[in-house]
Amino acid sequence: MTLAEYAESITHQVQTSVFTSTKSGKVKTDFVSQIAKKLDLDFAPENESDGNVCFANSNELRDDYKSTFAPIDILNYIYAVLHSAIYRENFNEFLKIDFSSLPYPKDTNTFWELVKLGGQLRQLHLLEFSKTENYITSYPIDGDNVVTRKMTKSSMGFEPYCHTERSRSANGLSVSPSEKTKAAKDSKHITPHEEEMGETGKVWINDTQYFDKVPQTAWEFYIGGYQSAQKWLKDRQGDTLTFEDILHYQKIIVALTETRRIMEILDGIDIT
Give the pLDDT of residue 224. 81
Question: Out of 61-65, 196-200, 238-242, 266-270, which region has the weakest mean confidence (pLDDT)?
Answer: 61-65
pLDDT tens-place string over residues 41-55: 999 876 444 444 343
Across 146-175, average pLDDT: 69
Across 159-184, average pLDDT: 52
Across 205-214, average pLDDT: 97
Tell me the residue length of the chain.
272
Q: Are strands 222-223 and 210-215 parallel, antiparallel or unpaired?
A: unpaired
pLDDT at 236 over 60: yes
Beta bridge partners of 27: 20
Distance CA 221, CA 205 (A): 18
Grouping H, G, I as helix, E, B as strand and the rest as coil, residue 252 is helix
Q: What percent of the chain has pLDDT over 70?
A: 72
pLDDT tens-place string over residues 249-272: 999 999 999 999 999 999 999 887
Q: How confident is the model at residue 103 (pLDDT cuts 50, 70, 90)?
A: confident
Q: Which residues contact 74 (CB under 8 A, 6 or more apart)?
A: 14, 18, 19, 31, 32, 35
Give the pLDDT of residue 194. 52
**Contacts made by residues 150-157, CB under 8 angstroms, sequence distance 24+:** 150/234, 150/237, 151/230, 151/233, 151/234, 156/204, 157/203, 157/204, 157/205, 157/219, 157/230, 157/233
Give the pLDDT of residue 21. 59
Give the pLDDT of residue 144. 98
pLDDT at 73 over 50: yes
Give the pLDDT of residue 206. 97
Give the pLDDT of residue 64. 60
Give the pLDDT of residue 156. 87
Across 187-215, average pLDDT: 77
Distance CA 137, CA 109 (A): 35
Distance CA 76, CA 57 (A): 14
What is the average pLDDT value for the chain, to the nearest integer?
81
